[in-house]
Chain A
Amino acid sequence: MLYEFETTLFQVEHLENFPSLKEQPFLYKQRARTLLQQLLQKTLDPLQLAIIHYQLGVNFLNCKENEESRKNMAKSLQLFSQIEDIENYLTYIQSIYNHLGFLAINLDDNETGLAILAKAERLGEYLITKQDCEKRPLKIQGGFEKAQEFYTITLIQIAQARPTSKIKEKVAFHCGQTMIRQLKSKTYELRDLILNCISLSDYYSGLQNFAQAFYLLLVGEAVIPEGKRKKLRATLQMAQGRVIGGMMSYCIDCIKSNQQNDPTLPKLFNKYSITFEDVNVKQLVFQPSKTFDEIKSQFRQANTLYKKAMSLFVLDGFVTEHIQILSDISTMYRVITFLEPDPNNVISYLEKRLDLLLPVFNSINPKAYQEIYEKLLVDVAEINNELYEFIVKFNEIDDIQGGKSKKLTEKMNKACLNAIQYYEKIVEQLKLLEDNQRDQAYYLSIIRAYLNIAKAQSNYFSKDKKIKVTYLANSLNQYKQLAEFINQQNQQNQFQAELQMCEEMIYILPSRIDRINQL
């Protein structure tokens, strides 16, 4: 019987893995099922029955017959629980719990599913601890590796059903352990491994474990054969730039809140949870930046990494990656501006951001890259807005004097006109939305755009009285139209402050126009 049992299982495995036909995708699986059902009738051995029911459970799941799968898994569990040397078959129990948990969650019964997965989790922890304590291979079906694999799957399923930070931490750790095993046994697809390195890196970056995040990316790079898979390598470099940029951003936030000397920061930045012993990559140590010079150094590091990635991710061929990198660098300039004491440098950073984004904004076909185009449109509108507003303050521009520096005033005017142009484009896009698509986000966006247009109109400077008055009059009209728009759309309650702004400007601007006319 044992011989028949084992050969049948072998045949079943073969049939389960056989490529199926499109018209009858479950044909071979159903044949496998028939063999199992026949075998069921031939044995009374509880262990064999338990295993057959388990295999049937897997088979039914493969054929998307979830209820039958659940029944067989439950039966298998019951049979295993009656076996004396169950310790040797705990990986089956793990897998059964994983299946039952998954099936329950699939039916939206998260409570039951999570309760079952909690058992799987405890069992997995028990097996891993046992291996660690006994320091010898676990004598269980599939061995310790199987136990670890199933434990990782348990955690992933729990994380999907109930994503808490505690479970995510465990999931991340065990995914890392899985990757370590894969590297050791060379059972991995390079692309999958790299993407996992990037995903895990993103996760640890989110926890400010920047050294761990960067280390994972270096491991990814180390695994790529020299001179090959350039795109993967460039993707890793892009991710590295993001980690350093993220770290820089975090350090700036600490400086802003005067926490740069917090003694826990170095420990946070350099916490390691996953190490690949078999990969020749050193664990880095990152020092939190405390001064503007140190921040600038981080900026340069990130910039260098991004530039490396961009040498492959050229615009023609890799539009999305290319623009993503430029946007990331633009964001770094935005963030670093907070610490910049020299106003001329602030202006320079804003202009630099436009230099990065405008060429690609003007190159891409809006129809082919609608989302990217719109995001860039908003970015260039807002950067121009920020630029002219900054110059108005710094250059002390008023209606009469025009500012300390003529050159800066000219810059301000150019940015002003650009802001108007781009915000008008945004309004144009928003107006294309159907009535039933116009939600609060729509109103917020369009009202903000109108306000910025009106404001920019009123800030445009010209020594020529007539031109200045024309812009002020345009601004006045814009405020009036906006007030009318808010009232017509019944948005007075939601946009009280904006409506009040409009009313105040409508009150003030005529006096301003008169003042200029009297000059």
Chain B
Amino acid sequence: MSKKFECVRVVIRCRPLNDTEKKDGHVCIVNMDTKNGQVTVRNPKVADEVPKQFTFDQIFDTQSLQENVYNQTAHPIVESVLEGYNGTIFAYGQTGTGKTHTMEGKDDPPTLRGIIPRTFDHIFQRIENMAKNKQFLVKVSFLELYNEEIRDLLSKNIKNKLEIRENPDTGIYIKDLSKFMIENPQEMREKLLHGRENRAVGATAMNQDSSRSHSLFQITVETNEIVQGQSHVTVGKLNLVDLAGSERQSKTHATGDRLKEAININQSLTTLGNVISALVDNKSQHIPYRDSKLTRLLQDSLGGNTKTVMIANIGPADYNFDETLSTLRYANRAKQIKNEPKINEDPKDAQIRQFQEEILNYQLKVGEV
């Protein structure tokens, strides 16, 4: 299978106005042109201001169905994970924009199920239908990143802080992070729920604000294929990342300990933004992975050999204008990340000069003969 380089796919999903918003007289300021992938946002306070327009790989309007969202975003990524590649799906957007609905949805009716439960089913359905000469091992882990500290949400002692390490062969990993073998979608779901409970309990116990933390649910699929008596093992990794509410907070409003939290949470997302910017602008040689654990964990998902989709959720209402704009701008930068090998920037002229000297040399030698 040939390896392909891809940009980060960025999709936008806009939820509909809810009953409360309608009752309060809020209006929709977002226009979604699904055919052309264009999102237009008008400033509700300035009538004659030119609406801001953004174009994305794909957009899902207020009428979009969960099934369609899954098929067009997560499905190809899950398929590639089952073939031994890595994939990351992350959900981005302020609280109340439908991020949870997109990622989880509801079980009843089944049409409302979100990306995560569909992913679970997809993996095991494919495994069941795979060729008999293939064996599978599915493992999961679940971690939280809060205030630049990593915690294992499936551990008995959630207070323990974990460290990032790198193995030359397998890549980045979290030291001592628990991994559980899973045999069916139900077990996977139980782990997810268990981790969530731990997250809530831990948050209370440690006086954390759970809306300010990121979570990463990782599914590893190891495939062992026996071909002519030989064993071929491939490992695919799927990251499901739930990012903290989009931030562009001023530091002025936070005081004391909260300033540190705000800076760290901001730093994670801001540094993510810096990573994105640095990759896109090509001006900076230094990629600031070191500054944030979140970007370190997702290091090979941004500009690396991983299929990545970012699903940015926005709200349609007029009072969401500022944050909607911020989310769209952020998503706009994310979609420009690409990955390709670059020859070092030697001065072009120097190389041409070298060639010219060599040609002259040959010409002289030929002249000698």
A residues neighboring B (CB under 8 Å): 17, 19-22, 25-26, 58, 61-62, 64-67, 95, 98-99, 102-103, 106-107, 150, 153, 156-157, 189, 191-192, 195, 235, 315-320, 360, 363-371, 374, 377-379, 382, 389, 398-399, 426, 429-430, 432-434, 437, 441-442, 444-445, 448-449, 451, 455, 497-498, 501, 504-505, 508, 511-512, 515
B341-A19 in contact (CB<8A): no
How many residues on the B side are at the interface (Cβ–Cβ under 8 A)? 73
Given A433-B340, A512-B366, 12 other A-B residues pairs in contact with their CB atoms under 8 A: A25-B209, A61-B249, A153-B250, A195-B290, A317-B165, A368-B171, A370-B300, A434-B5, A437-B340, A451-B355, A498-B352, A504-B359
B53 interfacial by beta-carbon distance below 8 Å: no
Docked CA distance A515–B351 (Å): 27
- Provide the residues of chain B in CB contact with A22, threshold 8 Å: 95, 200, 210-211
B348, closest chain A residue (CB): A444
A199, closest chain B residue (CB): B291
B133 interfacial by beta-carbon distance below 8 Å: no
B340-A61 in contact (CB<8A): no
B209-A19 in contact (CB<8A): yes
B296, closest chain A residue (CB): A320
B168-A107 in contact (CB<8A): no
B303 interfacial by beta-carbon distance below 8 Å: yes
- Provide the residues of chain B in CB contact with A365, threshold 8 Å: 168-171
B residues neighboring A (CB under 8 Å): 2-7, 45, 94-95, 148, 165-172, 200, 203-204, 207-211, 245, 248-253, 258, 260, 263-264, 287, 289-291, 299-300, 303-305, 319, 321-323, 325-326, 338-344, 346, 348, 351-352, 354-356, 358-359, 362-363, 365-366, 369
- Provide the residues of chain B in CB contact with A156, threshold 8 Å: 251
The minimal Cβ–Cβ distance linking B313 to chain A, given in whole angstroms, is: 14
Most buried by B among A64, A318, A374: A64
Docked CA distance A451–B207 (Å): 62
A426-B94 in contact (CB<8A): no
B361, closest chain A residue (CB): A398
Whether A512 touches B169, Cβ cut-off 8 Å, given contacts A19-B204, A67-B45, is no
Interface of A is mostly: helix
- Provide the residues of chain B in CB contact with A497, threshold 8 Å: 352
A379: which of B171, B207, B344 is its contact (CB, 8 Å)? B344
A441-B211 in contact (CB<8A): no
- Provide the residues of chain B in CB contact with A318, threshold 8 Å: 165-166
Whether A505 touches B359, Cβ cut-off 8 Å, given contacts A107-B322, A430-B341, is yes
B250-A61 in contact (CB<8A): yes
B362-A442 in contact (CB<8A): no
B354-A389 in contact (CB<8A): yes
B326-A371 in contact (CB<8A): no
The minimal Cβ–Cβ distance linking B153 to chain A, given in whole angstroms, is: 14
The minimal Cβ–Cβ distance linking A63 to chain B, given in whole angstroms, is: 10
Whether A378 touches B342, Cβ cut-off 8 Å, given contacts A106-B322, A368-B300, A511-B366, is yes
Docked CA distance A25–B245 (Å): 10
Most buried by B among A191, A320, A377: A320
Task: List 8 tightest A-B contacts by C-beta distance, closest first.
Answer: A368-B171, A319-B166, A374-B341, A25-B211, A66-B322, A370-B305, A445-B343, A102-B250
The minimal Cβ–Cβ distance linking A416 to chain B, given in whole angstroms, is: 14
A202, closest chain B residue (CB): B286
The minimal Cβ–Cβ distance linking A393 to chain B, given in whole angstroms, is: 10
B168-A363 in contact (CB<8A): yes
The minimal Cβ–Cβ distance linking A30 to chain B, given in whole angstroms, is: 13
Docked CA distance A258–B252 (Å): 49
A398-B365 in contact (CB<8A): yes
- Provide the residues of chain A in CB contact with B304, threshold 8 Å: 370-371
- Provide the residues of chain B in CB contact with A191, threshold 8 Å: 148
Docked CA distance A61–B348 (Å): 51
The minimal Cβ–Cβ distance linking A71 to chain B, given in whole angstroms, is: 10
Whether A448 touches B207, Cβ cut-off 8 Å, given contacts A235-B290, A432-B2, A432-B3, is no
- Provide the residues of chain A in CB contact with B166, threshold 8 Å: 317-320
Docked CA distance A32–B326 (Å): 26
Docked CA distance A437–B343 (Å): 16
Docked CA distance A26–B209 (Å): 11
- Provide the residues of chain A in CB contact with B366, threshold 8 Å: 508, 511-512, 515
Docked CA distance A508–B356 (Å): 12
- Provide the residues of chain A in CB contact with B207, threshold 8 Å: 19
B340-A378 in contact (CB<8A): no
- Provide the residues of chain A in CB contact with B250, threshold 8 Å: 61, 98-99, 102-103, 153, 157
Whether A20 touches B362, Cβ cut-off 8 Å, given contacts A317-B165, A365-B171, A368-B169, is no
Whether A319 touches B258, Cβ cut-off 8 Å, given contacts A98-B250, A382-B344, A455-B355, is no
A61-B253 in contact (CB<8A): yes
A382-B346 in contact (CB<8A): yes
CB-defined A-B contacts under 8 Å, sample of 6: A25-B209, A25-B211, A153-B251, A365-B171, A434-B6, A501-B356
- Provide the residues of chain A in CB contact with B321, threshold 8 Å: 66-67
A21-B5 in contact (CB<8A): no
A378-B344 in contact (CB<8A): yes
A377-B341 in contact (CB<8A): yes
Docked CA distance A103–B250 (Å): 9
Docked CA distance A318–B300 (Å): 15
The minimal Cβ–Cβ distance linking A391 to chain B, given in whole angstroms, is: 14
Docked CA distance A377–B343 (Å): 9
B340-A99 in contact (CB<8A): no
- Provide the residues of chain B in CB contact with A62, threshold 8 Å: 253
Whether A429 touches B341, Cβ cut-off 8 Å, given contacts A191-B148, A508-B359, is yes
Whether A58 touches B253, Cβ cut-off 8 Å, given contacts A368-B300, A441-B342, is yes
The minimal Cβ–Cβ distance linking B193 to chain A, given in whole angstroms, is: 14
A441-B340 in contact (CB<8A): yes
Docked CA distance A320–B172 (Å): 10
Whether A368 touches B170, Cβ cut-off 8 Å, given contacts A235-B290, A432-B4, is yes
The minimal Cβ–Cβ distance linking A454 to chain B, given in whole angstroms, is: 10
- Provide the residues of chain A in CB contact with B5, threshold 8 Å: 432-434, 437
